Structure 1
Amino acid sequence: MNIDKALKEAMSIAGAVGVALVDYESGMSLGSSGGGDWLNLEIAAAGNTEVVRSKLRVMSSLSLNDNIEDILITLHRQYHLIRLMDAAKYRNSLFLYLVLERDLANLALARHQLKRVESDLQI
């Protein structure tokens, strides 16, 4: 599926408020859907590149030979889910960033659905 269809599919996840496909090397968003006045997805995408870069640096410092699947940030009313794309498959530095309304979302199901979106995405 293409980027637009993948973003639309991610927005169909229960509780989804916004989603973006982000390049963590540049901090640029390749596409986004949702968001609004209180959720600027461009700023959030750029900020979350620092989260990903920081975790990758720590893993390198610890000589961990492993890959990040996802990073979860839990807020009082929201879940922020960062799903790194399979670097071997896509040969890039991309992640899907999904914001969920906590009261409406099922976190386990959302992670499963976002993983499916990632696996179906063609770049």
Structure 2
Amino acid sequence: MANMDVSLKEMMAIDGAIGAAVVDYSSGMALGTLGGSKDLDLQIAGAGNTEVVKAKLRTMESLGIQDTIEDILISLSGQYHLIRPISGRGGKGLFLYLALDRARANLAMARHSLRAIEDKLDI
């Protein structure tokens, strides 16, 4: 079991990582952040991506989809943004958020690493 600080450090160790956060999507508040830059305010990104998660959950409910979101990928010209809702051990209502430099990241490996980090995270 890893705590939030350890998990954020592991997220930032993923190749190409530029910012990481654990976000409560009921409030939009980032519970913890690491990295970021003047061009990537993780508090604002967490709040904005909360709306993405809520919209997808509402759409799934409207369509009657009885499934869970593994992750949401937003591809920008220079970055990948991964959103991974936490499914276990008291993490309901939280998601992992990872911004990656597209030129340095391996998307498949980043998704794999994020899944492993989620599995070890104890909130």
CA distance, structure 1, for counterparts of residue 92 and residue 86 of structure 2: 8
CA distance, structure 2, for counterparts of residue 100 and residue 81 of structure 1: 8
1:101 aligns with 101
| Matched-pair identity in % | 57
| DSSP-derived class of the 2:6 partner | helix
Question: TM-score, with normalisation over the residues of structure 1?
Answer: 0.97
Aligned residue pairs total 122
How far has the Cα of 1:89 moved from its partner?
A: 3.2
Structure 1 segments unaligned to the other structure (5+ residues)? none
For residues 62-111 of structure 1, what are the alpha-carbon distances to aligned partners after superposition, in whole Å with 9 as ceiling and x for unaligned?
0100000100000000000001101x532520000000000000000000
For residues 18-57 of structure 1, what are the alpha-carbon distances to aligned partners after superposition, in whole Å with 9 as ceiling and x for unaligned?
0000000010010000001110000000000000000000
1:1-123 superposed matches below 5 A: 1-86=2-87, 88-90=88-90, 92-123=92-123
Structure 1 consecutive aligned stretches of length 4 or more whose deviation exceeds 6 Å: none
Cα RMSD for the two superposed structures: 0.8
